[in-house]
Chain A
Amino acid sequence: MTNLHLLQAATACYALSVFAYLAQIVLQRNWLQRSALLLVSGGFLLQSACLAWRWQLAGFLPVTNLFSTLFFFSWALAACYLYFELRYRIGASGLFVMFLNLLLLSVALRRDAAIPPLVAALDTPFFSLHIVFSFLGYALFAMAFSLGGLYLIQRFLPLRQLPELPLLRKLNEEAIFLGFALFTLCLVIGAVWAYWAWGYYFSWNIKGIWSFLVWLFYAGMCHAKFIRRWQGTGYALLSIAGFGVVLFTYLGIGLLLDSNHPLE
């Protein structure tokens, strides 16, 4: 068995859980929801074991190429989904996060999974922490996107199966705040590391600018929730727009433009 078998098994669990959640929406059976949760938990355990295995093989947290970052983003999404599911039993409300998770894994599984040797500049705990906090932040922003989308559905096409609007709003605000807090840590650590490695703590490259923009955008959102007019629908729309900014920062820049954070 190789570590990739673990990942394939995890992907299968996640895929089955999505079916279980979809069936639960239609059939409304408690056992379906419980099975879905079990499947996500099982998938997460398998993926964590795979991550630990790869970490042990490499001797460092393997997050240095597209396969590894997709893998890690997917792991962070599953962790974030489980956090909300165990806390609030949101069930199918986080389905988008699981879809995104599957999408990332399906792209990752088609790529070369070999762990490239670590470039000297990345051989520091600053790098690992910078990446861990950035993907945990991104995962929470993805969760906010999902909850924002559901808020709009519930608002304009009410569905009995979805949580009530106040709960969706509360969870959306929570995901944004937690994501912002973790992303702040990611930026502070990145800035210290940049200062040590390059001699300045902010680089005016496109990735640097957009990471700052992501942070500024979500800082703005941390305040917009205090303004009555922006609560609810406005906030849901902002959560969706914010995730667009995140996707561009993570994928768009690496794929479309030249940057000092290439994807491979």
Chain B
Amino acid sequence: MMTRTWNLLCSLKLAIWLASLATLLLMGGSLLVPFNGRVFGTMDQVPFATWLAETASKQLSLTWWFWLAALIMILFGLNTLCCFLDWLVHIRARWRKTGEYLLHLGVVLVLLAYIWGSLGGWRNPGLQLRIGVPVELPQWPGHALRLDEFTPLFSGSGPPQDMISQLTLLNGDGESRSARVGINAPLLHNGLVITPVSFGQLPVGLRFLAPDGTRHELHSGDTLHLENGSDLRVLRFVADLQQRSDGSLFFRDDRLGIPAYEVQVGYADGGTWQGWYLPTRGLPHQLKMAGFNLQPVAPVYQNYSILTVNYDPGARLAATGGTLMTIGVLLALFSFYRKRARQDRPEI
């Protein structure tokens, strides 16, 4: 029984059957992919196993072939592994086929790595980072990412030539890794991969004109010394402050709507006031009293970076598999004619 199972798993005919079945299933099924974006459009945004569990399982009429193809590929991987092991056992007689069998081993490792990454990985396809504001990685508690600097590079009009983010990966309190990320230059760190996707601009404050013609910018955290000895501290700037019917305030959006500052004024006589200043709605008298006489003229924007942050525990294994495949295929390629001349091949 054991021997029969082993022989079946090492059988070349089984390999051809499985490869043909997987090919036919994927051929037919894949034609559904471009026409059902709702179901298949999210496949690259989550690991494969998550997609199977969360999306495909709810659309079995469109996705049944995927389950079957996945099962066949697993069997095929097992089949390939057994062929490799069978060769390993007989390596003394069959060492000339090292290239071919490194290729087989490489395929098995890549398949395993893909399964591992699908089950244990996560993907964050559009993490938005503002300069200096650390963002927790939701799937990786205790870790955060901070954008220290962002530079889009343009040459003439058209899309950017590069989008360079200087990033720091924060691990608990300590910094664990700093790197520059750009197009085709990702940050790679223990299975984590960070690549640029896009960028945008968000308002971070307003520009003001003083009566003497000078310009000032006010951002969150700034302090302004006013002429009559008062101090104005900007607690925060929000791009769009709205009021509910019950009078409570809420921030609607990161884009510019009704810009507002939450400010704290320290008067020269020692008194203080804290409240909202909405430049489009006029100056509160508490600010007038403090001697604030700036006119808002324009919003100030700052770039933010949008990044893909993915974690794939199988990435290293996949790289090892890919390397073995490359070495194997090159060995097989360069020894092909010699082996053909020796008629060194199985006939079944």
Q: Is the CB of B159 within 8 A of A119?
A: yes
In angstroms, how far is the closest chain B Cβ from the Cβ of A227? 5
Q: Is the CB of B12 within 8 A of A223?
A: yes
Q: Is the CB of A220 within 8 A of B23?
A: yes
Check: B325 CB closer than 8 A to any chain A CB. Answer: yes
- Of residues 80 to 118 in B, which have CB atoms within 8 Å of A's CB atoms? 103, 114
Q: Is the CB of B16 within 8 A of A220?
A: yes
Selected from B40, B184, B185, B310, the residue in CB contact (under 8 A) with A204 is B40
The majority secondary structure among interface residues of chain A is helix
Known: A185-B329, A191-B322. A197 touches B16 (CB 8 A): no
Q: Is the CB of A197 within 8 A of B33?
A: no
Instruction: Write the A172-194 contact mask toward B (1 if CB under 8 angstroms, else 0).
Output: 00100110010011001001110
In angstroms, how far is the closest chain B Cβ from the Cβ of A182? 8
Check: B282 CB closer than 8 A to any chain A CB. Answer: no
Q: Is the CB of A196 within 8 A of B184?
A: yes
Selected from B309, B315, B340, the residue in CB contact (under 8 A) with A195 is B315
We find that the number of chain B residues with CB closer than 8 angstroms to chain A is 53
Check: B201 CB closer than 8 A to any chain A CB. Answer: no
Closest to B162 in A: A120
Check: A121 CB closer than 8 A to any chain B CB. Answer: yes
Q: Please indicate which of the listed interface residues A174, A199, A206 has the most CB atoms of chain B within 10 Å of its own CB.
A: A199
Q: What are the residues of chain A within 8 A of B15 when measuring CB–CB?
A: 220, 223
Q: What are the residues of chain A within 8 A of B34 when measuring CB–CB?
A: 206, 257-259
Q: Please indicate which of the listed interface residues B159, B315, B319, B329 has the most CB atoms of chain A within 10 Å of its own CB.
A: B329
Check: A228 CB closer than 8 A to any chain B CB. Answer: yes
Q: What are the residues of chain A within 8 A of B1 when measuring CB–CB?
A: none
Q: Is the CB of A198 within 8 A of B325?
A: no
Q: What are the residues of chain A within 8 A of B10 when measuring CB–CB?
A: none
Selected from A197, A220, A226, the residue in CB contact (under 8 A) with B195 is A197
Q: Is the CB of A204 within 8 A of B44?
A: yes
Selected from A123, A170, A184, A227, the residue in CB contact (under 8 A) with B184 is A123
Known: A188-B325, A206-B34. A199 touches B26 (CB 8 A): no
Q: Is the CB of B183 within 8 A of A120?
A: yes
Q: What are the residues of chain A within 8 A of B194 when measuring CB–CB?
A: 199
Q: Is the CB of B308 within 8 A of A198?
A: yes
Since A199-B193, A226-B348 are in contact, a sample of 18 more A-B pairs with Cβ atoms closer than 8 Å, ordered by chain A residue number, is: A120-B159, A120-B184, A184-B329, A191-B322, A192-B319, A192-B322, A196-B186, A199-B308, A200-B312, A202-B114, A204-B40, A206-B30, A209-B33, A212-B26, A220-B15, A220-B20, A226-B345, A226-B346
B-to-A contact residues, CB < 8 Å: 12-13, 15-16, 19-20, 22-23, 26-27, 30-31, 33-34, 40, 43-44, 48, 103, 114, 123, 158-162, 183-186, 193-195, 308-310, 312, 315, 318-319, 322, 325-326, 329-330, 332-333, 336, 340, 345-348
Give the top 3 A-B pairs by smallest Cβ distance, nearest first.
A204-B43, A220-B19, A199-B310
